[in-house]
Amino acid sequence: MPRSKRSAGFILVAWLLITVLLPLSGSIQVGFPVLARSSTNQNNAYANWTGALTAGDCVSIDANKNFVDSGVAGCGGAGAGKGGIVVYSAASLSLTGTQYIPIGGGGLPSGTETFVDTSAPSAATVTNFDVQMSSAPGMGNNIVFTWRKNASSQTLTCTISGAVATSCNDSTHSFLVSQGDLLTIQLVTTGVIAGTPNLVIATQFGTTGSNGTVNTATQFQVGEYLANGTAISGITVSPCLDSGGNHLNFNSATGAITCGTTSSTVSPTTNQNIRTIGATFGSFESGASALSGSHTACVATYFAGTIQSVELIGDVSGSATVDVLTVAHTSWTGRASTSSITAAAIPALSSAARFTDSTLTGWTTSLTAGTDVCFALTSPTTVAGVAIAVKVAAN
């Protein structure tokens, strides 16, 4: 390339670094010559600054459009750019075949990538790619827009196709750049584009806030901030399938995330899974009439478990027998469809006010969800009220 064109290209690139990659905070990084393009003509001019400049400090623009040292450290250093939005805008473009454009500014497309590539001023993550055209490509036509780094296509890409669409974006993918990487945007046009559309492209380059960062993790990784203002990192956890009690362990001191292989289920307390099935006959009110004859009470259950014990209480010392009978709810046809589960160990008060049995000899102690349970009172003597409670350890 002729030396004059190389010089012009360098000036354009330097101008782009200032006007396009200017951080959102309104400051720029000290460490490279500042070139500015006049708003009234096409001549290049060195910008002026006042006072001493300290390497590593942020530079601001005062009311007289001079650059001054802000006195705020943290903007300098290789690869320490704070980031911002990169914008490319150009009018009346002839789009055909494979072309390349600079990442910012408004240069014309070129078939030679090295004519328009730009060195990254700092390490950053490039993401949130958005493209707008003034008119659609046309029926059967499409344009693929792809970011490139060091002459290699990246995953950050989108396509505008057909006679209706005029925009596309990629907010899913991202890629990392190091200071000095050569960057371009590639345009691959299929078909014949009618007219010469205007083109505007905006892309996020690095961080956009003091604490917000670009996500550099990949799909299915666990994200972790290492410190305020640093890029989120993707932590790959060893395969942790949702089976066999597997779970994630987080070490709050080191930030390590590992796959645990023991059950993470919290065990219930001693009585947390205890259920009670029961019934009350007669009255426990003072002066109530004594029970006589036979009585039955039934209840539906909705849980499975194992019967552990049975208890009876009477309002006074006396006698009564209460059998326990069950039947599957789907087989219920009435009291006569139930069968006793107590064998010969039927709960009974015998001249006593209370009874407890935790041995349950001969009992069918397994209880299935959806079982109807009946309690049959017979032979009450003296007692006016009798209550039975069956203790079940629910599964």
What span, in angstroms and rounded, lies between the C-alpha atoms of 353 and 346? 16
Indicate left, alpha or beta for 77 from its phi (over 0: left) and psi (-120 to 50: alpha).
Answer: left
Q: Return the higher-pLDDT residue of 258 and 48.
A: 258
Residue among 137, 223, 123 nearest 177 (CA): 123
At which residue do the structure tokens 């907010």 appear? 171
Residue 384 has pLDDT above 90, yes or no: yes
Residue among 231, 234, 219 nearest 123 (CA): 231
Q: What is the pLDDT of residues 162-196, one digit of tens each?
A: 999 999 999 899 999 988 999 999 999 999 998 89
Whole-number percent of the chain with pLDDT over 90: 54
Residue among 223, 221, 253, 251 nearest 237 (CA): 221
Q: What is the pLDDT of residues 230-244, one digit of tens each?
A: 455 666 666 666 666
pLDDT at 57: 57
Mean pLDDT of 293-322: 95
pLDDT at 28: 39
Write the CB contacts of 241 (distance below 8 Å, at least 6 apart in sequence). none
Residues 91, 133: contact at Cβ < 8 Å?
A: no
Neighbours of 188 (CB within 10 A): 16
Residue 35 has pLDDT above 50, yes or no: no
Question: Which CA distances in Å does 31 have to 71, 205, 297, 318, 358?
Answer: 15, 19, 90, 100, 85
Residue 25 has pLDDT above 50, yes or no: no
Among 123-127, 227-231, 353-357, 363-367, whose mean pLDDT is lowest?
227-231
Residue 207 has pLDDT above 80, yes or no: no
Structure confidence at residue 64 as a pLDDT band (50, 70, 90)? low
pLDDT at 52: 66
pLDDT at 78: 39
Q: What is the pLDDT of residues 295-304, one digit of tens each?
A: 999 999 999 9
pLDDT at 122: 81
Residue 24 has pLDDT above 50, yes or no: no
pLDDT at 31: 35
Q: Which residue segments constitute the domains of the chain, with CATH numbers given?
A: 84-205 (2.60.120.380), 222-260 (no CATH), 274-394 (2.60.120)
pLDDT at 250: 75
pLDDT at 45: 40
Residue type for position 193: I
Which pTM value belongs to this model? 0.39
Among 73-82, 133-142, 294-303, whose mean pLDDT is lowest?
73-82
What span, in angstroms and rounded, lies between the C-alpha atoms of 392 and 92? 81
Q: What distance, in Å, lies between the first and last C-alpha atoms of the chain?
A: 81
Q: Return the higher-pLDDT residue of 391 and 58.
A: 391
